[in-house]
Amino acid sequence: MSQPCAIKTCKRASRTLCHCCNQNLCRDHFVQHDDLLNSQLNPLTNEVNALSDRLAVINPNNIIDDSHEKLNQWRIDCHKIIDHFYEQKCRELHQYIISKLDKLRTDITDLRLIMIRLINQQDTTKHDINSLTSAIHDLKQNMNSIEQIQIQLKIHPLLVDDRLIQIEKIEKQSFSLINLRPPYHTITTIGASDYSIASNDRYLLLHINPNLCLIDENL
């Protein structure tokens, strides 16, 4: 025995079962039901096309411009740090050689003063000659050492931790009216006004004529 049509106002017997809705429908109402479902595709198609159009005009540069500027500033700051470190090591290297030359220059000056004193006194001994000869020999060795010096630099590669910069997205919180619950209670007020009355970190009390509305941000 066939089931009656699920449409309450219809007296005809059902001819088919709509599997998506699990309803027994007569032929006419099944056709209407099918046409209604198919007609709902058009606005959905329009929404998808609208989203596609919005996506097509999004310029990624506009989204990342601010972040790209921050990255450039970070790069500039890092270059300054590297340049400062490089200049510091150049000064240390230069100072190292200058200190060696200054020491040799001081030794030569001291030796000259000794020789001038001996020449003026005209009282040179064998010990003085041996001492001067030994000092000159040491100066020659030190001079050869400086002229042939080879400085070894232990330079380690600069390691950059990928965690120095982390890319995180910040999504703006949106308030959806779909999540609002039905009003629990309304109060009718006198007068026309649309303004906020009070608020805290969770609730907002609004007077939207003629209702007094309490909005919970967690909804």
For residue 107, with 0-12 CB atoms within 10 Å meaning exposed, 13-18 middle and 19 or more buried, which class applies? Answer: middle
For residue 114, with 0-12 CB atoms within 10 Å meaning exposed, 13-18 middle and 19 or more buried, which class applies? Answer: middle
**Would you say 27 and 15 are in contact if contact means Cβ atoms under 8 Å apart?**
yes
Closest to 47 (Cα-Cα) out of 59, 55, 36: 55
> pLDDT per residue over 88-144, tens digit each?
999 999 999 999 999 999 999 999 999 999 999 888 899 999 999 999 999 999 999
Euclidean distance between the first and final Cα of the chain, in Å? 49
% helix, strand, coil for the chain, step of 5: 55, 10, 35
Question: What pLDDT, on the 0 to 100 scale, is given for residue 76?
Answer: 96
> pLDDT per residue over 1-30, tens digit each?
578 887 788 877 777 887 777 888 788 778
Q: What is the mean pLDDT of the segment spanning 153-175?
A: 79
Question: What pLDDT, on the 0 to 100 scale, is given for residue 25?
Answer: 79
